[in-house]
């Protein structure tokens, strides 16, 4: 029978050349029945199975051939390729390297090895092989394109952009390269250029879903929410089982304040994968924004108290969970996940400046609570000792407060169109000594700037009420009320204890507008409680307390601010089901800042939210002569109002249990003498208290900055500071 093998071999080759795989396979099978060790038949049979996409079968056949002749380069290549196509990359790399030892470098092999290393998430090794391809073939489009992908994984975005642009010059009609360029530009915050790249990719490949996703991401970043929503809605139709598409849609709908639609998108995502990172926390935060305290809210709140498997990003937890240990855990996970330390700019090398250079970084140098509190600080800084720089990366605006702030700094720099690394580089070029992050994990913040080390000393203050959990924020500004002795274990930063935590602006003006209770639907004789915090700070527990208080104080009303109509409707429904006449809940409309302050004249007592306290709104109320009643908790965010009341010497308005909170509110409303004494004390304390002594606060903060700088100058690590 062996004499038939040559003839069958010639016939099988003929069928292969004619593309008749079935007949070729039949003949090769006959050969292997006669002689299972016929190596040429094994090689051809493996090739046929590869062409039929039977990769598992091909690998089994080629392995048999390999045992017979482990030094055959062609055989080794085919086996390596079969493993590569099967995504068995480790085996593929080993065989390809054996091929190279026998046959030398070949572009296709080097390219596959680089791609395999990329797939194994080993981008450094991948780049070595892509560079070898480029050295042999400087116009190899795939090598430049794949190298860009590996550099992107390493977060070497500038080099990645250079590589993908080289690939596009070689092959300008490749839609995937344009889309990859868009992805890099998004990561480096060059959104205008990213928009051009996304549209070019779609022009070249109208059905490339990834390009539409990147277009949606770009439009979202540019705050063109309506257009982004349209794009994402089309994407989820095309890929309804892709969870990330639903998350993108939910995110942009939330940004556009279409909360119910956002929740629907997140709910759909949750059906696809309930344990996706941060998804459940996003759902809970949307329910909180709408005051939708249903069974899902209860279930998610219980889950939040465990925060397992990346349940939530840090910010939503502040208003749901009063646990500083959990806040540290969540922030640390989030920082490591999204903003790990990046040493690509290298260590900071600089000379000593004549004055300490302070850089304040914010998206909120405009009509925003952070700016409303801190505006006078920048004006009061001692220019003999300090130079003050403002780095602004918020939206384009020109409101009155923005104009004031742009003049308050020695240099006010709009860096909105710069990438995070470029902002950090700019800060270094300006030799900033102390970089102060005023955003933390709040909306539009840019935490990644500080991961590059924008200054030798980096500080968190005011915008985010808690730890950011990162290695590179050295200090957190606080006081002993917010972070009492022993609480440092809950903070990744070294704590700076000032005599009083919160800065204030003495220049805020109360308008002369006289608001009438009657025009707001409030009976003239009513005692007016108020809480003008954002709705996500409300919890069913604190709102139940407010309802209980109203029930015990006949004729009293509660003035609230409703960010959205769903929240207003839900709050009214909750009150009604609790046995309270819904007419006793009054919703305030949004006003100019000066008029908003003037409206406080018709209110009597500010009821603070818990566990996320009022900050700016509490200061506003106290500035306008309205006492604030707070319920102190354990976490940073739950003790801010206590700090304010301590700084104005009204500690009797700090309570420590729900029962005490309710009792105190009822007593103040029903005992006129007691209430007038508190009002009078507030009026007497306001002119000379720490809370509104902006020059004293500035001096204390400057002492803290000087201590930080002294430690650094002496080569010492950051250490706790008490002023």
DSSP assignment of 244-264 equals HHHHHHHHHHHHTT-HHHHHH
User: Is-same-fold flag (1-95; 518-690)?
Assistant: no
Strand order through the sheet with 434-437: 411-414, 386-392, 356-362, 434-437, 457-460, 475-479, 494-498, 721-722
Rounded-to-integer distance, Cα 597 and Cα 623, Å: 9
39-68 residue pLDDT tens: 666 666 667 667 777 778 767 776 776 777
Domains of the chain: which residue ranges? 1-95, 255-335, 356-498, 518-690
Percent of the chain with pLDDT over 70: 93
Q: Average pLDDT, stretch 515-519?
A: 92
Residue 705 pLDDT: 98
Element (H, E) at 708: helix 694-713
Residue 27 pLDDT: 57
Place of tokens 């306290």: 613
Rounded-to-integer distance, Cα 481 and Cα 442, Å: 23
Residue 1 pLDDT: 46
Q: Are 709 and 433 in contact (CB under 8 A)?
A: yes
Directed axis angle between helix 175-187 and helix 157-170, to 10°?
160
Rounded-to-integer distance, Cα 303 and Cα 312, Å: 10
**What residues have CB less than 8 Å from 150, skipping those under 6 apart?**
114, 117, 118, 123, 124, 126, 127, 130
170-183 residue pLDDT tens: 999 999 999 999 99
Confidence band for 31, pLDDT divided at 50, 70 and 90 = low
Over 60: is that where the pLDDT of 7 sits?
A: no
Q: Are 229 and 252 in contact (CB under 8 A)?
A: yes
Pairing of strands 605-607, 528-531: parallel
Rounded-to-integer distance, Cα 697 and Cα 690, Å: 7
Residue 45 pLDDT: 62
Over 60: is that where the pLDDT of 143 sits?
A: yes
Q: Are 232 and 252 in contact (CB under 8 A)?
A: yes
Q: Average pLDDT, stretch 532-542?
A: 97
CATH fold of 356-498? Rossmann fold (3.40.50)
Class at the top of the CATH hierarchy for domain 1-95: mainly alpha
Cα–Cα–Cα angle for 717, 695, 511, rounded to 5 degrees:
130
Token pair of 347, please?
């260590």
Mean pLDDT, all residues of the chain: 93
> Which is it for the CA torsion 320, 323, 329, 331, positive or negative?
positive
Token pair of 290, please?
């709408």
Rounded-to-integer distance, Cα 290 and Cα 257, Å: 10
Over 50: is that where the pLDDT of 582 sits?
A: yes
**What's the CATH number for 518-690?**
3.40.50.2000
Residue 479 pLDDT: 98
Confidence band for 17, pLDDT divided at 50, 70 and 90 = low
Cα–Cα–Cα angle for 408, 414, 417, rounded to 5 degrees:
165
Dihedrals phi, psi of 479, to nearest 5 degrees: -150, 175
Residue 20 pLDDT: 54
229-263 residue pLDDT tens: 999 999 999 999 999 999 999 999 999 999 999 99
64-85 residue pLDDT tens: 767 777 888 888 888 888 888 8
Residue 6 pLDDT: 61
Over 70: is that where the pLDDT of 15 sits?
A: no
Token pair of 106, please?
């070949």
Confidence band for 3, pLDDT divided at 50, 70 and 90 = very low
């Amino acid at each position: 029978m062996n004499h038939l093998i040559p003839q069958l071999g010639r016939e099988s080759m003929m069928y292969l050349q004619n593309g008749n795989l079935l007949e070729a396979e039949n003949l090769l099978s006959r050969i292997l029945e006669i002689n299972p060790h016929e190596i040429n038949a094994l090689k051809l049979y493996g090739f046929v199975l590869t062409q039929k996409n039977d990769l598992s079968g091909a690998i089994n056949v080629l392995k048999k051939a390999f045992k017979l002749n482990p030094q055959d380069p062609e055989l080794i290549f085919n086996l390596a390729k079969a493993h590569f196509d099967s995504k068995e990359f480790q085996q593929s790399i080993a065989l390809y390297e054996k091929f190279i030892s026998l046959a030398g470098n070949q572009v296709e092999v080097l390219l596959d090895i680089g791609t395999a290393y990329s797939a194994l998430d080993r981008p450094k090794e991948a780049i070595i092989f892509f560079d070898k391809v480029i050295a042999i073939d400087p116009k190899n489009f795939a090598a430049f394109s794949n190298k860009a992908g590996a550099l992107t994984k390493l977060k070497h975005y500038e080099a990645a952009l250079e590589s993908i642009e080289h690939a596009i010059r070689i092959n300008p009609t490749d839609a995937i390269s344009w889309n990859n360029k868009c992805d890099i530009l998004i990561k480096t915050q060059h959104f205008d250029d990213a928009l051009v790249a996304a549209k070019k990719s779609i022009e070249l490949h109208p059905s490339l879903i990834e390009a539409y996703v990147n277009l949606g991401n770009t439009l979202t970043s540019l705050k063109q929410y309506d257009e982004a929503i349209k794009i994402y809605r089309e994407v989820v139709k095309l890929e309804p089982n892709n969870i990330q598409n639903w998350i993108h849609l939910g995110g942009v709908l939330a940004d556009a304040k279409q909360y119910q639609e956002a929740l629907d998108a997140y709910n759909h995502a949750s059906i696809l994968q309930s344990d996706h990172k941060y998804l459940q926390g996003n759902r809970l935060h949307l329910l909180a924004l709408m005051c939708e305290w249903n069974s899902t809210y209860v279930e998610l709140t219980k889950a939040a108290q465990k925060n397992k498997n990346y349940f939530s990003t840090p910010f939503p937890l502040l208003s749901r969970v009063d646990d500083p240990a959990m806040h540290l855990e969540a922030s640390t996970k989030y920082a490591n996940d999204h903003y790990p330390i990046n040493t690509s700019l290298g260590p900071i090398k600089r000379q000593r400046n004549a004055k300490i250079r302070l850089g304040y970084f914010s998206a909120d140098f405009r009509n925003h609570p952070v700016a409303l509190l801190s505006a006078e600080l920048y004006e009061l800084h001692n220019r003999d000792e300090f130079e003050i720089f403002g780095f602004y990366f918020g939206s384009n605006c020109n409101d009155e407060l923005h104009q004031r702030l742009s003049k308050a700094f020695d240099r006010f720099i709009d860096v909105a169109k710069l990438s995070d690394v470029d902002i950090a580089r700019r800060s270094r070029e300006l030799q900033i000594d102390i970089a102060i992050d005023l955003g933390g994990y709040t909306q539009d913040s840019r935490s990644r700037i500080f991961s590059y080390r924008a200054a030798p000393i980096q500080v968190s203050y005011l915008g985010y009420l808690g730890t950011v959990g990162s290695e590179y924020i050295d200090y957190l500004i606080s006081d002993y009320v917010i972070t009492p002795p022993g609480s440092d274990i809950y903070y990744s930063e070294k704590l700076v204890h000032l005599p009083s935590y919160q800065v204030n602006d003495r220049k805020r003006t109360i308008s002369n507008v006289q608001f009438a209770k009657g025009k707001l639907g409030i009976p003239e004789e009513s005692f007016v409680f108020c809480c003008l915090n954002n709705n996500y700070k409300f919890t069913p527990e604190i709102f139940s307390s407010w309802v209980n208080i109203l029930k015990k104080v006949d004729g009293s009303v509660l003035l609230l601010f409703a960010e959205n109509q769903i929240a207003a409707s839900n709050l009214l429904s909750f009150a009604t089901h609790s046995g309270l006449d819904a007419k006793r809940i009054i919703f305030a409309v949004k006003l100019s800042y000066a008029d908003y302050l003037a409206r406080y004249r018709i209110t009597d007592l500010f009821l603070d939210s818990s566990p996320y306290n009022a900050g700016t709104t509490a200061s506003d109320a106290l500035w306008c002569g309205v006492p604030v009643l707070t319920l102190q908790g354990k976490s940073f965010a739950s003790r801010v109002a206590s700090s304010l009341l301590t700084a104005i010497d009204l500690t009797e308005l700090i309570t420590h249990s729900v029962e005490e909170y309710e009792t105190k509110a009822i007593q103040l409303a029903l005992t006129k003498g007691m209430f007038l004494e508190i009002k009078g004390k507030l009026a007497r304390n306001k002119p000379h208290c720490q809370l509104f002594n902006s020059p004293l606060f500035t001096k204390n903060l400057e002492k803290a900055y000087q201590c930080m700088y002294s430690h650094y100058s002496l080569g010492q690590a950051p250490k706790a500071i008490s002023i």
